[in-house]
Amino acid sequence: MTTRERLAGLISNVLNPFVVSTGVIILLALESAAGTADALKWVAISLVLSVLPVFSVVFYLVRRKKLDGIFISQRQQRTRLYLLAGALAVFGCLVLYYLAAPELLQATFTAGLASIAVFAVINLYWKISLHTSFMAGAASIITIVYGFPGALTILLLLPVAWARTQMKLHSLAQVVVAAVLAAAIVTAVFRGFGL
């Protein structure tokens, strides 16, 4: 394995969708909650409704040899997980609305649901980079919330996109389309929320 391949693998492992999602949830909870205890409550609820169940199912399926790996490089293997993630996103949106969660978390879950719906349809015909889409979505959210300082997170898109293409898991078109769609969906949803 070359140094470039090792670096690409490291970037993909560190900036993976599970880690990126968790980071965004923590930031938004801290930004919008009444205090630290309230933020921790929303972090726990949000992770239980999104990241943890998907990661647990993926981990279980990998151990049972039903998936090739945690990041699911085979397009056909993603369909069931889009269905699971979609169902969790619907449930998560309803729970967060019912519990009167901070609006930033509600908007983020709604953007996640919209992204899942769009990407699930695309997945029927073409593989799209989830690593890149999660990073673009996260960078868009952080930019909306924090302005220019948050916009610096957009720079993280470059190494993620490079890593996914370097590892030959995605084409340049697949990472570009993923980034553009994720950013557009987040922007539209957050505008819809008046954020």
Q: Enumerate residues 6+ apart whose C-beta is below 8 A from 79.
A: 120, 123, 124
* Lookup result for tokens 């889409």: 133
The whole-number mean pLDDT for each consecutive block of 10 residues of the chain, a chain of 195 residues, reads: 91 94 97 93 97 92 82 80 93 96 97 96 94 97 96 96 94 97 98 95
**Which of the 8 DSSP states describes residue 101?**
-
What local confidence, expressed as pLDDT, does residue 78 receive?
86
Domain range annotation of the chain: 3-192
Number of C-beta neighbours around residue 89 at 10 A: 22
Number of C-beta neighbours around residue 186 at 10 A: 27
Q: Please tell me the pTM assigned to this model.
A: 0.93
What local confidence, expressed as pLDDT, does residue 24 receive?
97
- CA distance to 5, 58, 113, per residue, from 27 (Å): 31, 25, 19
